[in-house]
Structure 1
Amino acid sequence: MGSIRIPWLVLIGLVFGTLGWLINWWATRNGYPTPSLPLSSLLTIAAVVAVTLIFGFRVKRWRAGNRKRALDPILAARTVVFAQATAYAGALTTGWHIGILADQLSLVGVRSNLGPLWGSLALMVAGIVMIGTGLIVESFCRLPPDDEAGSGTARESGEGEYA
């Protein structure tokens, strides 16, 4: 399993930022509402971040030496996948709402309702939190390289693997 690729996160953000800007531009000029997530989705994002962190801290505690019980390999694999999905979903959410925010900023002078602007800003920040959480929890799951008989050289099979 590969690790999170930062260039992919940036590409996802750019693609969905462009799409968000274009769709918001079209929607607001044709009388449709802003295509943004509702603020209640912040609760869902908070739940996803919390669950990701809970699973990540379980793996981190095991790595730190709290090995009273064996680490379930399925739990560890799911934690890595969940962390990566959180980061990629955060990139999509951030990009989409940056695009909406960019178009909403151009409408500040002609619109009295700034709700979509603040909503997009809040969801953009939540997306950044998702990206950070995904990257941090993925790092919790990475095993340190093993030393061969204390020689200080890392074995290739242990380097960069997940718990």
Structure 2
Amino acid sequence: MSTLRFRWLALVGLVAGLAGWLVNWFATRNGYGTPALPLTSLVTTAAIIAITLVFGRRVLRWRNGRRDRPLDPLLALRTLVLAQACAYAGALNLGWHAGILVDQVALASVRSTSLPVWGSVALMAGGTVMIMVGLVVENFCRLPPDDDGTGAPGHTEGEYA
């Protein structure tokens, strides 16, 4: 399985940001509400982050030598996929709400409340944390390079657990 590419995360964030800006621009100019997630979605974001960290910690403990139980390879693979999905969802969340923020900042002088601005900032922070946790847990799933004991240079990059 390939590693996360920062370019893909950035591309997902930029496309989501453009889409968020366009949808918000259309919605606010036609009398609709701001198309942002409610702040209660941060609870769900925190739960996803916690679950990803719990599974990642199990793989990390096994990788670092605490092998009192065998590690199920499917658990390790699912943890890796969860970490990558967490990072992509974070990029999507960050980009979408950054696009909304750009339009909301421009409307700040005519709005009576700044709640959409602060809501977007909070959800962008949640997306940033999701990206970071996804990248960290993906790194937890990487096995160190094998040492074949021949004294010759071995692999310089490990594989996934």
User: What percentage of residue pairs aligned between the two structures are identical?
Assistant: 62
Matched, 1:99 2:86: no
In the alignment, which residue of structure 1 is the partner of 2:43?
43
- Give the Å deviation of 1:104: 0.3
Cα distance between partner residues in 1 of 2:51 and 2:148: 36
Letter in 1 for 2:88: Y
Cα distance between partner residues in 1 of 2:154 and 2:128: 34
In the alignment, which residue of structure 1 is the partner of 2:159?
161
In the alignment, which residue of structure 2 is the partner of 1:151?
151
Cα distance between partner residues in 1 of 2:86 and 2:93: 10
In the alignment, which residue of structure 2 is the partner of 1:22?
22
Letter in 2 for 1:151: G
Cα distance between partner residues in 2 of 1:81 and 1:152: 33
Q: TM-score, normalised by structure 2?
A: 0.97
Q: What does 1:106-145 correspond to in 2, within 5 Å?
A: 106-145=106-145
Cα distance between partner residues in 2 of 1:107 and 1:150: 66
- Give the Å deviation of 1:151: 1.7
Cα-to-partner distance string for 1:8-57 (whole Å, 9 max, x where unaligned): 00000000000100110110011000000011100000000000000000
Letter in 2 for 1:13: G
Letter in 1 for 2:103: D
Q: TM-score, normalised by structure 1?
A: 0.96
The answer (yes or no) to whether the contact 1:59–1:140 under 8 Å persists in 2 is yes
Matched, 1:34 2:34: yes
Task: List, as ranges, runs of 4+ consecutive aligned residues in structure 1 with deviation greater than 2 Å.
Answer: none
Q: Which runs of 5+ in 1 are unaligned?
A: none
| Aligned-pair Cα RMSD in Å | 1.1
Q: Which runs of 5+ in 2 are unaligned?
A: none
Cα distance between partner residues in 1 of 2:25 and 2:117: 13
Letter in 2 for 1:95: G
Task: Give the count of matched residue pairs.
Answer: 161
The answer (yes or no) to whether the contact 1:148–1:155 under 8 Å persists in 2 is no
Cα distance between partner residues in 1 of 2:35 and 2:155: 50
In the alignment, which residue of structure 2 is the partner of 1:12?
12
Cα distance between partner residues in 1 of 2:155 and 2:110: 62
The answer (yes or no) to whether the contact 2:146–2:158 under 8 Å persists in 1 is no
Cα distance between partner residues in 1 of 2:87 and 2:44: 15
